[in-house]
C-alpha cells in the first residue's frame, strides 16, 4: 500500500538518480578518463626527465638551483623523484607529491621500455596502490596475500599445539571444493589453566585475517631463525678457516 501511495515520489527519486548516474558515467568516460590519461602522460615525461637527471651531479645541482630560484620549498635530503615532482607540480599538489614520486621511482626500476606509463600504472592497481608499495616491492595487499599463503602452507604439516581430539558438537562444514580445512576457534582460558573452545567459524574473512596475522608472525620468526643460523655458520666457517691457516703456517714453519 505504501509503495502505491508513494509512487510519484519513488518515480521522482528514480528519475533523479538515473539522471545523475548518467552524468557520472559520462564524466568517467569523458573528462575523468581524459584527465587520467593526461596525468599519466605527464608522469611519463617526468620519468624521462628523472632518468636524464639520475646520476648526473651537475644536472641535479642545476635542478636544486632551479627550485630555489623559483621559491619552491624542498628538503635537501629529498629524493630526486620528489624534487622532480616539486619542480613540475610546484606546491599545488603537495599532498600528492609523495604518490607521484613513488610512481616515478618504481617505474624507473620496473617499467619495461615498451610499456606506457598509463598501462604500467593501471596494471599495478593505480597511483594510490603504487604509493602504498613498500621498499620490498610489495603492496600491503600483496604482502597480506603472501602471509596468508605462508600460513596455509605451514599449517598443513605443523605440529599441533594440543593432541588431536574429536569435537562432536562442532557445526563446521567444508565445501567439496575447499582448498584447506582450517577454521578459527575462540578459546577461553579457565581458572585452572585449561582451555575451552567457546566458538568456532570458518567464515572466509575471519579465517584469512587470522592466517594473515599468523603468516606475518611466523614468517618473521622463520626469517630471524634463518639469519641466526647463517650468522652461526659464518662464525663456524671463520673459525675453521682460521684454524686451517694456523695449521698451514705451523707446517711451513716446521
* Residue range 212-230: mean pLDDT, rounded: 70
Nearest to 184 by CA among 197, 194, 195: 197
* pLDDT at residue 233, rounded to an integer: 67
In whole numbers, what is the pLDDT of the chain averaged over residues? 82
Q: In whole angstroms, give the CA distance from residue 65 to residue 59.
A: 10
Residue 229 scores a pLDDT above 70: no
* pLDDT at residue 22, rounded to an integer: 84
Q: In whole angstroms, give the CA distance from residue 85 to residue 164.
A: 59
Per the model's pLDDT, the better-predicted residue between 231 and 30 turns out to be: 30
Residue % of the chain over a pLDDT of 90:
27
Q: What distances in angstroms separate CA 170 from CA 24, 166, 180, 211, one per listed residue?
A: 49, 9, 17, 21
First-residue to last-residue Cα distance in the chain? 112
pLDDT 10s digits, 37-84: 898 999 999 999 999 999 899 999 999 999 898 888 888 788 999 999
* Residue range 176-204: mean pLDDT, rounded: 89
* Residue range 160-183: mean pLDDT, rounded: 84
The C-alpha cell 630560484 sits at: 69
The C-alpha cell 609523495 sits at: 98
Residue 90 scores a pLDDT above 90: no
* pLDDT at residue 73, rounded to an integer: 84
pLDDT 10s digits, 119-136: 999 998 888 888 887 756
Residue % of the chain over a pLDDT of 70:
80
Q: In whole angstroms, give the CA distance from residue 60 to residue 216.
A: 40
Query: Do residues 42 and 89 lie in contact, with contact meaning Cβ atoms separated by under 8 Å?
Result: no
Residue 30 scores a pLDDT above 70: yes
Query: Do residues 38 and 76 lie in contact, with contact meaning Cβ atoms separated by under 8 Å?
Result: no
What is the value of pTM for the model shown?
A: 0.50
The C-alpha cell 585475517 sits at: 209
Q: In whole angstroms, give the CA distance from residue 14 to residue 7.
A: 10
Q: Find the helix or strand (DSSP H, E) in which 178 lies.
A: none
* Residue range 87-107: mean pLDDT, rounded: 83
180 backbone φψ class: left, alpha, beta (φ>0; ψ -120 to 50): beta
Q: Hey, which residues does 184 pair with through a beta bridge?
A: 201
As given in the structure block, the three cell numbers for residue 238 are 671463520
Q: In whole angstroms, give the CA distance from residue 64 to residue 70.
A: 10
Residue 3 scores a pLDDT above 60: no
Where are the extended beta strands (E) located within 31-177?
Answer: none
The pLDDT confidence band at residue 97, using thresholds 50, 70 and 90, is confident
Q: In whole angstroms, give the CA distance from residue 201 to residue 174.
A: 11
The pLDDT confidence band at residue 1, using thresholds 50, 70 and 90, is very low
Cα atoms in the Cβ-side hemisphere of radius 13 Å centred on 164: 2
Per the model's pLDDT, the better-predicted residue between 233 and 228 turns out to be: 233
Give the number of residues written for the chain: 254
* Residue range 203-228: mean pLDDT, rounded: 78
Amino acid at each position: 500500500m505504501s509503495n502505491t501511495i508513494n509512487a510519484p515520489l519513488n518515480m521522482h527519486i528514480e528519475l533523479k538518480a538515473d539522471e545523475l548516474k548518467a552524468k557520472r558515467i559520462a564524466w568517467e568516460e569523458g573528462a575523468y578518463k581524459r584527465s587520467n590519461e593526461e596525468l599519466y602522460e605527464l608522469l611519463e615525461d617526468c620519468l624521462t626527465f628523472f632518468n636524464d637527471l639520475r646520476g648526473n651531479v651537475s644536472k641535479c645541482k642545476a635542478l636544486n638551483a632551479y627550485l630555489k630560484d623559483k621559491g619552491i620549498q624542498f628538503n635537501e635530503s629529498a629524493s630526486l623523484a620528489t624534487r622532480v615532482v616539486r619542480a613540475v607540480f610546484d606546491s599545488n599538489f603537495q599532498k600528492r607529491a609523495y604518490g607521484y614520486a613513488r610512481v616515478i621511482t618504481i617505474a624507473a626500476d620496473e617499467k619495461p621500455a615498451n610499456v606506457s606509463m598509463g598501462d604500467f600504472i593501471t596494471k599495478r592497481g593505480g597511483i594510490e596502490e603504487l604509493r602504498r608499495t613498500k621498499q620490498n616491492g610489495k603492496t600491503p595487499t600483496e604482502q597480506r596475500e603472501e602471509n596468508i599463503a605462508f600460513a596455509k602452507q605451514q599449517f598443513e604439516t605443523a605440529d599441533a599445539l594440543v593432541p588431536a581430539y574429536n569435537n562432536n558438537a562442532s557445526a563446521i562444514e567444508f565445501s567439496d571444493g575447499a582448498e584447506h580445512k582450517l577454521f578459527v576457534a575462540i578459546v577461553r582460558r579457565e581458572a585452572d589453566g585449561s582451555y575451552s573452545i567457546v566458538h568456532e567459524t570458518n567464515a572466509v574473512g575471519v579465517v584469512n585475517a587470522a592466517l594473515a596475522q599468523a603468516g606475518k608472525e611466523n614468517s618473521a620468526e622463520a626469517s630471524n631463525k634463518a639469519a641466526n643460523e647463517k650468522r652461526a655458520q659464518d662464525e663456524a666457517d671463520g673459525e675453521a678457516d682460521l684454524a686451517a691457516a694456523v695449521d698451514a703456517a705451523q707446517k711451513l714453519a716446521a
